[in-house]
Every structure is written in C-alpha cells, then in structure tokens.
Amino acid sequence: MWRWLHPYAKGEASYRLLGRWLPWLTGSAVLTMMVGLIWGLFYAPPDYQQGDSYRIIYIHVPAAIFSMGTYTAMAIAALIALVWQIRTAEWAIAAIAPVGAVLTFIALFTGAVWGKPMWGTWWEWDARLTSQLILLFLYLGVIALYHAFSDSRTGAKAAGILALVGVVNVPIIHYSVYWWNTLHQGATITKFEKPSMATSMLIPLLICLLGFALMTAAFICQRLRNEILRQELHRDWAQQELN
Amino acid sequence: MIPRRKKRLTWVISLIAGVAVAVSLILYALNQNIDLFYTPSEVLAGKGKDLTRPQVGQRIRVGGMVVEDSVRRDPQTLQVHFRVTDTGPEMTVLYTGILPDLFREGQGIVAQGILIEPDVLQATEVLAKHDEEYMPPELAEAMKGIKHVNPNAPDAYSEPAGDGDKQ
C-alpha cells in the first residue's frame, strides 16, 4: 500500500518532488493571500460591535489555526521519524518548527494588538492565551533540542520526542474556551455548527485561510529542500545541484 | 510491520497516552483555578462541589453581563458603578477610570478587584468581553434589533449613562 512512498525516503527524490511543488505553492499562495487580505481588510463590511478593528481577524485566525495545524504536522513527522527512522521525516521536524513558531508568534502578537482596543488589555492569563504561549515555547524547545547535539540524529530524536509529547497541548488550546471561562471568545468558524459570521465577512476569511495554508506549505517546502541539501552535501547529487 | 518498529510504535503511543492522562489529571485537579473569573452566582452561591465562596477582602475577578440601565456615572469624576449578572443574582461593581471601548449595557465584562462586601466589587480593572458573532451593522439591526454604536464616535458611551441618569 505504501510502496509508492518508498523512493521519497531518499533525500534526492524528496528534493526533486518538493522542487516541482514549490513554484505552484508559492504562486497560488501569493495570489490567494492578496485576494483574501485585500478583500478582508478593505472591502468586507465592518462589524456591528467592533467596527473596523475586527479586521485583524483576517490575519489572527489563519495564523492561529495553522500554528496548531503545523504543530500537528510536525508531530506526525516526529512519529514517522521515531518509529520508521526515516531521515527525511527527521529533517521535516527541523523544517516545520520555525515556520510554526513564527505563525504562533503572529497569532499572539495580533491577538495582543487586537486585545488592547477591544478588551482593554494586551495580555490576560486566561486559558486560551496561556496555552497558545505554551505552544510557542514548545516550538522553541523543539528547535533548540534539534540543534543541541553534535550528532544530528540524536538531536532529531530528542526534538521528535518533545514534538510528540507536546501534541497534547493542541486539543487543550482548541477546547480551552469551552472547558474554562476565558476572556477570549469561543470558536467562530472551527466548530461543527454553522459559523457565527455573516457570509460577506466569512468568504474573505476562508480565502485568507487557504492563502495561509498555501504560504505555510510553500515555506515548509523550501525549508525542507534546504535541510535535505544541507544534510546531503557530501553526496554527488547535492554537489551537482550546487554547481 | 517488523517487530522492531512495532515495539517502537508501542513505546511512542504509550508515551503519548501517558502524558495525555497525566495532563488531563492535572487540568482536572486545577479545573477551578484555570477559570479566569467567578460569575456573580458563583460569588454569591459558591463554586464547585464544595460551594467555596470568595471572602470579603479577597482579590478576585468577576465576569458577567452588564445589567441594562444599571450604569451610573459621576458627572464630575471618572467614577462609575454598574451591576453585572449571569442569568442569576446580580453584583455591583464600583470603578474609577476609563472603561474599554466595547463597554456598554448588555455587554460581557470581566472586572478585577477586591470584594468589599459579599456582593460589591471595588474594581481596579474592567475588561470587555465580546462573543464569537461577527456581522455587519445592518444585519445586526435586522436580526437582533441592536442599534449599532460606532465605538469610534465621541458620544458612543454617554448615551447609556445619560439614559440611566434620567430614571
């Protein structure tokens, strides 16, 4: 069943595959992000309570959703790296972690900037904000552990274990607003019921979500290519690629 | 699957399961402490199974809806007081300072301060909460009968206080 995947355990095959995806991902990411952000920031109607301030949602929500999404992807890569010991999966941990950390930081930062005018505070130690901050520390821990050992395989193993254990935090972030009372609002779109958002505001948000997904994938593709090349420098194909 | 991988997979899965169980037990034990605020009914009737109530003089946060027509402002100073409720009993919040833009009657707020009487909170900070609904002003007016208040307008908050003073 998984036989078609086997060639990609080799660095070179993955490198070429990612190289084929990259231009498409980058192009569509730029296009959808531009459409989504311009629509959301300039043409979507203002909110009945928050006026124009709510527009930061078009950056805040996609960044927050994919900070958790990339973490899950990183944990899956860590599982594959630990159980099947495939080197490409180990490098994927290193490729994904900084992208996720930046998304988490963007979510926390835009949240603070949004919180000041609306709630009246930059930061409050409520369950949602605190668990998202822990996610940032988990990402930083994974990055630090990966580079903490002189032997890169040991580092990947240690980082993989932390990434796997930390996945427990992802459902906590999502359900924090239901399990405890918080200053942060409940879910607007990531729930099974109908989204609590007017269609004219929802469509640009969905486009932004798609744009952020494509952008995240493009960054990870590029970073993974770099990591593969860096780790396989001693091989002939990598030398040929560079010359 | 070859036995070596099977063994590693079992290890990894039991590691995740173990951590998940440990974390859920910790969170369950800390459950009440993770809540950001007390609701007015929890302050007055007690919280949790053992109905613990905050003591007078304790520093707490109270969260609830601002009761309609309960906001009173001192015209000379920044003093303001209002009642908050969560479906049940009401509490009075005293505050001196500037309220956040979203503060209005019927709005969810979180006030932090010292409980000076069983149902009176001397707040040092009042934060506004908003719900997860987003819609354009016209739709809100049609669906919920909410008159849109532009938070950027200079007279956005004097109106509810003015209404309150007349009664």
DSSP string covering B96-131, please? ESPPPTT--TT-EEEEEEEEEETTEEEEEEEEE---
- A42 vs B47, residue with greater confidence: A42
Helix (H, G, I), strand (E, B) or coil at A163: helix
Tell me what pLDDT residue B162 has: 41
Domain ranges of chain A: 17-43+55-188+195-242
Tell me what pLDDT residue A11 has: 85
Q: Which residues of B touch A83 (CB under 8 A)?
A: 5, 8-9, 12
Tell me what pLDDT residue B75 has: 87
User: Cβ contact (<8 Å) for A188 and B63?
Assistant: no
Closest partner residue to B128 among A45, A119, A125, by Cβ? A119
Q: CATH number of the domain at A17-43+55-188+195-242, please?
A: 1.20.120
User: Cβ contact (<8 Å) for B12 and A48?
Assistant: no
pLDDT at A52 over 80: yes
Q: Does A83 reach chain B within 8 Å, measured CB to CB?
A: yes
* Residue B144 pLDDT class (50, 70, 90 cuts): low
Percent share of chain A, pLDDT over 70? 100
Rounded Cα distance, A120 and B81, in Å: 18
Q: Does B133 reach chain A within 8 Å, measured CB to CB?
A: yes
pLDDT at B164 over 50: no
Tell me what pLDDT residue A48 has: 87
Q: Does A180 reach chain B within 8 Å, measured CB to CB?
A: yes
**Kind plus residue range of the DSSP H or E element containing A106:** helix A87-118
Which neighbouring-strand residues pair with A47? A51
Average the pLDDT over A175-193 and give the result: 88
What is the value of ipTM here, to two decimals? 0.79
Burial classification of residue A6, based on how many CB atoms lie within 10 Å of its CB (0-12 exposed, 13-18 middle, 19 or more buried):
exposed
* Residue A109 pLDDT class (50, 70, 90 cuts): very high
Q: What is the mean pLDDT of chain A?
A: 93
User: Cβ contact (<8 Å) for A172 and B23?
Assistant: yes
Give tens-digit pLDDT for A4-42.
888 888 888 999 999 999 999 999 999 999 999 999 999
Q: Which amino acid is at A92?
A: A
Residue indicated by tokens 């899965």: B13
